[in-house]
Amino acid sequence: MSEENVEIELERSKNPRYQWFDQFRGLIIMFLIISVITWPLTGDITDGDPVWLGIPLLNHGFQYFKGYPALITIIDIGQQIFMFVLGFGAFLAFSSRREKHGAKTAWKHAGIRIGVLYILSFLASGLIGGDLFSTNHTWNEVLYYGTLANLAIGTFAAYLAVYLIPKSADKRMYLCIGILIVHAVLYFLPFFKHYGPSPGTWPADPWTFPWNALNHAAIAIAGTCFSQWYKMDPEDPKVGFKKRILPVSMIAIIVFYCYDWIQAAEHHDATTSLAFLAIAASGFLIAVFYSFEQLNFKVPVLSEMGKNMLLLFILSLLIDYYVGFLVDDFRDFLVMNPIITMLIIGILPIAFEAGIAMLLARKKWIIKV
308-336 tens-digit pLDDT: 988 898 888 788 889 989 988 898 899 89
Q: What is the pLDDT of residues 263-279, one digit of tens each?
A: 999 999 999 999 999 99
Does residue 27 contact residue 350 with C-beta atoms inside 8 Å?
Answer: no
Q: Which residue, among 159, 6, 135, has the nearest Cα to 87 in the 3D structure?
A: 159
Does residue 161 contact residue 172 with C-beta atoms inside 8 Å?
Answer: yes
- Rounded CA gap, 276 and 154, in Å? 16
Does residue 10 contact residue 283 with C-beta atoms inside 8 Å?
Answer: no
| pLDDT on residue 57 | 79
Verdict on whether the full-model pTM lies above 0.85: yes
| pLDDT on residue 10 | 37
Q: Which are the contacts of 368, defined by CB distance < 8 A and separation ≥ 6?
A: 307, 308, 309, 310
Does residue 90 contact residue 158 with C-beta atoms inside 8 Å?
Answer: yes
- CA 24 distance to own-chain centroid: 12
Does residue 228 contact residue 91 with C-beta atoms inside 8 Å?
Answer: yes
Q: Which are the contacts of 359, defined by CB distance < 8 A and separation ≥ 6?
A: none
CB atoms within 10 A of CB 220: 31
Q: Which residue, among 315, 296, 312, has the nearest Cα to 304 in the 3D structure?
A: 312
DSSP type of residue 142: I
Could you give the dihedral angle defined by the CA atoms of residues 121, 124, 128 and 129, in that order, rounded to the nearest 10 degrees? -80
CB atoms within 10 A of CB 343: 12
- Rounded CA gap, 128 and 136, in Å? 17
pLDDT < 50: residue spans in the chain: 1-14
Does residue 169 contact residue 230 with C-beta atoms inside 8 Å?
Answer: no
Does residue 252 contact residue 56 with C-beta atoms inside 8 Å?
Answer: no
- The SS3 call for residue 337 is coil
